[in-house]
Amino acid sequence: MPELPEVEAVRLELAPVLTGARIARVDLRRPDLRAPLPLDFRSRLENQTVLSLTRRAKYLLGTLSSGDTLVMHLGMSGSFSVDAAEEGASGRRVPDPHDHVVFHLSSGARVIFNDPRRFGFMDILSPAQFATDPALGRLGPEPLSAAFDAAALARACRGRKISLKVALLDQRVVAGLGNIYASEALHRAGLSPKRRASTIATQGGAPREAANRLAAAVKQVLTRAIDRPAVPGNYRSPRFRVYEREGEACPRRGCDGTIVRRTQAGRSTFFCPTCQR
C-alpha cells in the first residue's frame, strides 16, 4: 500500500496540473471503487475549478471553487497518471481496463485514476460534511508539521500498554505513518518495536529522551522518502535500512546484529534485536 511519502509524491505531481484548472468533464467507468461513488459525483465536479490540492495523512484533498472538497485515497493499488496531450492528438495514453475515473481538464490534460484492486476511495464533501467527517476528524498531527514533536508523541503514548510499533500505526497518534516507515523510524531511533509505548513518556506525560529520538527519526525518514519516493511494489530500495531485509546484517555502524522479522497486529515488523532496545 502506498504510504505517506508516496502519496505526497503523487500530490506534488498532480498539483501543478490540477491547481487552477477547471474540470470540464468527468468520465466514470464504474459506479464504485471501494465504496459507491456519490450519485451526484460527476455533476458536483464538472465546471468546478480546483483551487488547491493538499494532503491529509494518506488522503488527497482537492478544494473546489464551489466550496466542496474532493477526497481521494489510493488504497492498495491505486495510482494517478497525467495525460497532457490535447483532445484528438496522437500520443494519448492507451486506455486500461482499470482506468475507473478520468478527469478532463480545461487545459486539455487528463488525470486518470487506475486501480486494479479497487480499494481506492473517492468522495465529495460539502464544507459541513468535511468539518464533521469521522475518518478525517480522528486523525492526529501530521508528522512533518510543527504540531508533531516529542511532547505530542509522549502525550499520545502516556500510560499505553501496547507496543511502540502498534502505537505509531495508530492514526490518532500520528497521521499517515504506515508500516514501512514506522519500522524505519524505530531502527533509526534505536528503539525496539516491541517496547511498551508508555516507556517513552513520564507518568506525567512529558517526553523522555527516547521520545525525542523517535519524533526526530519519524521526520527524518519521511523527509528523505519524499525526496526519493519508492516505486510501488518495489520496497527493497537501498534507502530502506530494515524493511524487507530479514536475515541481512544491521546497517548501523558498529552493530553486529541481524535484521529479523516479527508480526505485530497482523503486520510485518523488521528490526535489529541487538541495537534496538
H or E segment to which residue 80 belongs: strand 79-83
Query: Active-site residue 277, yes or no?
Result: no
- 8 A C-beta contact, residue 98 and residue 114: yes
Instruction: Spell out the residues 6+ positions from residue 209 whose beta carbon is closer than 8 angstroms to its own.
Output: none
Active-site position among 44, 58, 213, 241: 58
Q: State the Cα–Cα distance between residues 89 and 97, nearest whole angstrom.
A: 21
Active-site position among 2, 5, 141, 229: 2
- Crossing angle between the packed helical segments 209-227 and 4-18, to the nearest 10 degrees: 50
The CB density around residue 126, as the number of other CB atoms within 10 Å, is: 12
Which single residue is written with the C-alpha cell 474540470? 23
Query: Active-site residue 219, yes or no?
Result: no
Active-site position among 3, 6, 142, 184: 3
Query: Active-site residue 93, yes or no?
Result: no
Query: Active-site residue 34, yes or no?
Result: no
Q: State the Cα–Cα distance between residues 89 and 76, nearest whole angstrom.
A: 32
Active-site position among 22, 25, 158, 267: 267
Catalytic residues: 2-3, 58, 267
